[in-house]
Structure 1
Amino acid sequence: MALRRLQAELLDLNKNPIDNVSVAPIDDTNILHWKGHILGPNNSPYKGGVFKLDIVFSTDYPFKPPKVKFTTKIYHPNIDDEGAICVALLKNDQWKPATRVSHVLRSLVTLLEQPNPEDPLMTDIAEIYATDQAKFQKNAKDYTKKYASA
């Protein structure tokens, strides 16, 4: 089931690409492991950055969410130093089999545009985001320039 579903989703993503996002299997022999890139949204401190993703699907997909992580360092309250992402859509108890990879990718773009300090992985960054937007913006831009420059 996972292989057929992923092939269909990949075909759909190629026919209907998401702006500033690209994904593909790492190689032709394993459709369960994808790599991706998100260009930092223009309306965010991540503008101009290229953020790499690692996406691993289990053979139980779509009944279990994929494991998604950023492999590019990013200054964000919902993404930790290892690239783990805190977004409701990817949590086991919130995942629905009808959710598609395109939904996941769009939610990650939205997360870059609108961090959620109420559900952080990085509490120190969430605190700065909530109390000192200028400092958050500067730190996020500095990280983007240092780690995510194309």
Structure 2
Amino acid sequence: MTLGSGGSSVVVPRNFRLLEELERGEKGIGDGTVSYGMDDGDDIYMRSWTGTIIGPHNTVHEGRIYQLKLFCDKDYPEKSPTVRFHSRINMTCVNHETGVVEPKKFGILSNWQREYTMEDILTQLKKEMASPHNRKLVQPPEGTYF
């Protein structure tokens, strides 16, 4: 996020940005089917995050709860976080052996912009679950993990 007037801009420092995201994540997002927060409250660098997505209606994901890990390196938000499903899932953009969301196969990560947030990533993943090429893929048994 940048602030400014008259042609000048100020880049919000990494930790301030992450504090904003944490506050938003704790308040709840939209319809409540996507959430995120800190994985370790003692991590002063705010690197390790968890995310949850409740599968979209009218898909093979409906009613399932998916857990993810997001890791914001020191270059975040200039560079995207790494995103990995903890819950097993079958999606075209997710490595079926590791659960890693592959940036080259997932638009928001491959075309990352500083303004994007972890919330954006999770909501896009939920939309991706409902896309025609993912909505009917056979899924691993519920409750299995990478």
If the TM-score is normalised by the length of the shorter chain, which range does it land in? 0.7 to 0.9
Shift of 1:137: 2.8
Secondary structure of the corresponding residue to residue 58 of structure 2: coil
Q: CA deviation at 1:35?
A: 1.0
Using the size of structure 1 for normalisation, the TM-score is: 0.74
Q: 2:99 aligns with which of 83, 91, 116?
A: 83
**Partner residue of 2:14?**
2
- Alignment gaps of 5+ in structure 2: 1-12
In the alignment, is the contact (CA less than 8 A) between 1:20 and 1:39 conserved in 2? yes
Residue 137 of structure 1 aligns with which residue? 136
Residue 122 (structure 2) aligns with: 105
Q: State the 1:15 CA deviation.
A: 3.0
Q: Which residue of 2 aligns with 1:65?
A: 80
Q: Check the 8 A contact 1:53/1:68 in 2, yes or no.
A: yes
Give the Cα–Cα distance (whole angstroms) in 1 for the partners of residues 131 and 141 of structure 2.
Answer: 16
The count of residues paired between Structure 1 and Structure 2 equals 126
State the shift of 1:3 in Å.
Answer: 1.5
Asked if 1 retains the 8 angstrom alpha-carbon contact of 2:54 and 2:64, the reply is yes
Q: CA RMSD in A?
A: 2.1
Q: Once the 2 structures are TM-superposed, how far is the Cα of residue 61 of structure 1 from its aligned partner?
A: 1.1
Letter in 1 for 2:34: V
Q: CA deviation at 1:16?
A: 4.6
TM-score, normalisation: structure 2 = 0.76
Q: Could you tell me which amino acid in structure 1 is paired with residue 109 of structure 2?
A: L
Richer in helix (by share): 1
Tell me how far 1:147 sits from its aligned partner: 3.0
User: Structure 1 residue 10: deviation in Å?
Assistant: 1.4
User: Deviations along 1:15-42, whole A, 9 cap, x unmatched?
Assistant: 3524211211112112210012111111
